[in-house]
Chain A
Amino acid sequence: QVTLRESGPALVKPTQTLTLTCSFSGFSLTTSGMNVAWIRQPPGRAPEWLARIDWEGDKFYSRSLETRLAISLDTTQNQVVLTVTDMDPTDTATYFCARTEYSRGPFDYWGQGMLVTVSS
């Protein structure tokens, strides 16, 4: 059974760095083709893809946010970590992690999401 679960702080202050962890089970990120991505969704708006990491450890970022994003993988703990620097109130959103079985594949399994609010 494939599961993903996001964890991290629900509230961060402007200019702080957000660190989110995606803990997954039921698949291995070392399996050829496998990817885990981070996607965020501001309240009432459409999802926005942020970053992904693939089975070879290659990393891909949204061009508009790449200077602020870092994605990493801990294969021993089946976790993918996303950091977002210099948080702003406009970064308030529900942050999801999701799996794709192929680099060019749909997001077939999602975590439940985590609302992160940026406020002083």
Chain B
Amino acid sequence: ENVLTQSPDTLSLSPGEGATLSCRASKTVGDNFLAWYQQKPGQAPRLLIYGAYSRATGVPDRFRGGGSGSVFTLTISRLEPEDFGVYYCQQYDRSPRTFGQGTKVE
């Protein structure tokens, strides 16, 4: 299976600061079929980015996905209070679908 490793595990930041999250795949993610999700306590993950860099409907433009192949990034340009939570990357190129272990933005 395609193992996704996220870094760092935790980012400690303040509102207004920028954040860069990384996701590294053990195998190339074909067609850049890589998504990013945001999850808050007690809620389901919310799709933010798909196809490595396309924002989902309603996602603010301060969220930007990048990368290709096996290394991907999620950048949040200026953190808003509602952006704090856990972020997961996920590949949907191969079966089984796999998720990274998550990066907590606190």
Q: Do these two chains interact? A: yes
A106/B47 in contact, CB under 8 A:
yes
Q: Knowing A37-B97, A46-B99, A47-B99, say if A107 contacts B56 (CB, 8 Å).
A: no
B44/A112 in contact, CB under 8 A:
yes
Contact with B along A48-76 (1 / 0, CB 8 A): 11000000000010110000000000000
* Interface membership of B84, Cβ < 8 A: no
For chain B, which range describes its interface: under 10, 10 to 19, 20 to 34, or 35 or more residues?
20 to 34
For chain A, which range describes its interface: under 10, 10 to 19, 20 to 34, or 35 or more residues?
20 to 34
Q: Knowing A106-B35, A106-B47, A107-B35, say if A49 contacts B97 (CB, 8 Å).
A: yes
Contact with B along A86-115 (1 / 0, CB 8 A): 000000000010101000111110111100
B residues bordering A, Cβ < 8 Å?
A: 1, 31, 33, 35, 37, 43-47, 50, 56, 88, 90, 92-93, 95-102
